[in-house]
C-alpha cells in the first residue's frame, strides 16, 4: 500500500509540473482560436494613443491599429470572427500581464529596447518619437542640461526615468504610477517638469483647460521606437502581428489611421516627417 501511495504522490507531482509546461507550450494563436478573444493591454489615459473619451469609449491610435489591421488579419488567418478585449496596462504591469497570459498583446506606447527584449518580443516599429519636457511657460528648463536640482516627474518603469537617472543624476527624479498622476503633480506645482515622450506630452497638453500656459521643450534626449509587445518564442503570433502591420503600411491603411489621429484635422496634429515615412515603408518591404 505504501508503494502505491508513493506512486500516486509521484504522479501528482509530475502532473503539476507538466500542466504549466503544456499551458506555456500553447501558442497565442491557438489560445485566441479557442477563446475567440484577442486580449490587449493598453491605456486609459494616454491620448491620442489609447484613452477613454467623454462617451466612456476606449479609443485611440493603437486601438484603431488593433481593430482595423490586426483583428481582421487574425480573423482571416483563423477563419473565424474574434473579439478584442481591453485591459489597463501601465509601465510596471505590462510585462507581468503578458508573462501571466492575462493579455496577448501590449498595444500602447512601449518603447522597444534591448533590455525589454530579454522579457518580451516586439513587433515592427509603429511609431517613432523621443523624450522631452513639459513645463510651465517661462520656465528656466529648456533641455536636459537644465534639470540639475530640479524636481522632475516621470512614469515608473519608463525608459525616460532610467535615462534621467543615467544622464542627469543630480536631478530630483520623482516617479509616478501613470501619466495622469505625473501630470497632475506638474499642474499642482509639486514638480518643475514632467518628462515623457514628446508626442505623449503634446497629447496631455491639448487636454488641459489652458494649453497656452504650458510648453514642450528640449531636443529629443532619447530615441523612442514604439512596438507592440508579446510573449517570447511565439514566432507564429509575432509573424501574424507583423504581417498585419506591414500589410497596413503597404496598402496605405496605416497612414489613413495615422492621419485620423495626427493629421492636420486629427486629435493631435503631429505631421509625419519624410524620414519617418520612408522608414515605415522600408519596414513593409519583404526582406
Does residue 26 sit in the same domain as residue 118? Answer: yes
**Helices vs strands, H then E, count in the chain:** 11, 15
Residues 119 and 238 in one domain: yes
- For 177, phi then psi, to 5°, come to -65, -25
The domain total for the chain is 2
Pick the closest to residue 194 from 167, 175, 168, 166 (CA basis): 175
Average pLDDT, the chain: 90
- Residue 176 has a pLDDT of 96
For residues 84 and 38, give the distance between their C-alpha atoms in angstroms, rounded to a whole number.
5
pLDDT tens figures, 20-39: 343 456 799 999 999 999 99
Domain span including residue 189: 131-222
State pTM to two decimals. 0.75
Q: What's the pLDDT score for residue 55?
A: 95
Rounded average pLDDT over 193-203: 91
Is the peptide bond between 217 and the residue preceding it cis, with omega within 30 degrees of 0? Answer: no
Task: Transcribe 206-239 into DSSP letters.
Answer: HTSS-GGGEEEES--SS-EEE--EE-TT-HHHHH
Q: Which CATH number goes with the domain that contains 116?
A: 3.40.190.10
User: Could you tell me if 23 and 10 are in contact, meaning their C-beta atoms sit under 8 angstroms apart?
Assistant: no
Q: Which of 36, 58, 162 is nearest to 108 (CA)?
A: 58
Short-list 60, 212, 89, 59, CA closest to 155: 89
Same domain, 38 and 95: yes
Contacts of 136 (CB under 8 A, 6+ apart): 186, 213, 214, 215
Cα 259 to Cα 268: distance, rounded to the nearest angstrom? 10
DSSP annotation string for 156-197: TT-HHHHHHHHH-TTSEEEEESSHHHHHHHHHTTSSSEEEEE
CA 280 to chain centre: 18
| Per-residue model confidence (pLDDT) at position 36 | 98
Q: Minimal CA–CA distance to 70: which of 254, 198, 222?
A: 254
Do 233 and 164 sit in the same domain of this protein?
A: no
Same domain, 65 and 202: no
Helices (H), 59-207: 61-65, 71-78, 94-99, 159-167, 179-187, 198-206
Pair 94, 158 in one domain: no
* Last residue in a domain, options 222, 246, 268: 222
Domain membership of residue 97 (yes or no) is: yes
| 24 within some domain | yes
**pLDDT exceeds cutoff 90 at 11:** no
Among 190, 222, 254, the domain-final residue is 222
> Per residue in 67-117, pLDDT tens?
999 999 999 999 999 999 999 999 899 999 999 999 999 999 999 999 999
Q: Give me the pLDDT at residue 25, please.
A: 60
Domain assignment present for 4: no
The reported pLDDT for the residue numbered 241 is: 98
Residue 206 clears pLDDT 90, i.e. is over it: no
pLDDT of residue 7: 44
Asked whether the predicted pLDDT for residue 167 surpasses 90, the reply is yes
- Residues composing the chain: 287
CA-to-CA distance for 225 and 204, rounded, in angstroms?
19
Amino acid at each position: 500500500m505504501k508503494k502505491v501511495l508513493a506512486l500516486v504522490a509521484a504522479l501528482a507531482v509530475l502532473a503539476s509540473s507538466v500542466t504549466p509546461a503544456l499551458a506555456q507550450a500553447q501558442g497565442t494563436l491557438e489560445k485566441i482560436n479557442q477563446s475567440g478573444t484577442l486580449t490587449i493591454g493598453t491605456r486609459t489615459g494616454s491620448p491620442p494613443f489609447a484613452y477613454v473619451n467623454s462617451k466612456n469609449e476606449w479609443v485611440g491610435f493603437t486601438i484603431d491599429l488593433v481593430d482595423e489591421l490586426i483583428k481582421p488579419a487574425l480573423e482571416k488567418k483563423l477563419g473565424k470572427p474574434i473579439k478584442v478585449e481591453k485591459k489597463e496596462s501601465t509601465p510596471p504591469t505590462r510585462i507581468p500581464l503578458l508573462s501571466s497570459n492575462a493579455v496577448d498583446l501590449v498595444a500602447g506606447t512601449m518603447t522597444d529596447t534591448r533590455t525589454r527584449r530579454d522579457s518580451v518580443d516586439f513587433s515592427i516599429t509603429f511609431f517613432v518619437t523621443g523624450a522631452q519636457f513639459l513645463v510651465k511657460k517661462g520656465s528656466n528648463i529648456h533641455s536636459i542640461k537644465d534639470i540639475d536640482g530640479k524636481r522632475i516627474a516621470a512614469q515608473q518603469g519608463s525608459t525616460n526615468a532610467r535615462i534621467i537617472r543615467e544622464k542627469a543624476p543630480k536631478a530630483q527624479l520623482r516617479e509616478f504610477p501613470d501619466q495622469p498622476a505625473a501630470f497632475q503633480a506638474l499642474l499642482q506645482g509639486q514638480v518643475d517638469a514632467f518628462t515623457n515622450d514628446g508626442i505623449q506630452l503634446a497629447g496631455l497638453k491639448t487636454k488641459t483647460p489652458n494649453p497656452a500656459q504650458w510648453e514642450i521643450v528640449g531636443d529629443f534626449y532619447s530615441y523612442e521606437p514604439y512596438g507592440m509587445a508579446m510573449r517570447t518564442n511565439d514566432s507564429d503570433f509575432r509573424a501574424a502581428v507583423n504581417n498585419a502591420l506591414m500589410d497596413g503600411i503597404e496598402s496605405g491603411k496605416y497612414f489613413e489611421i495615422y492621419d485620423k489621429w495626427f493629421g492636420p484635422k486629427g486629435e493631435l496634429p503631429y505631421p509625419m516627417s519624410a524620414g519617418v515615412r520612408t522608414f515605415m515603408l522600408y519596414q513593409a518591404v519583404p526582406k
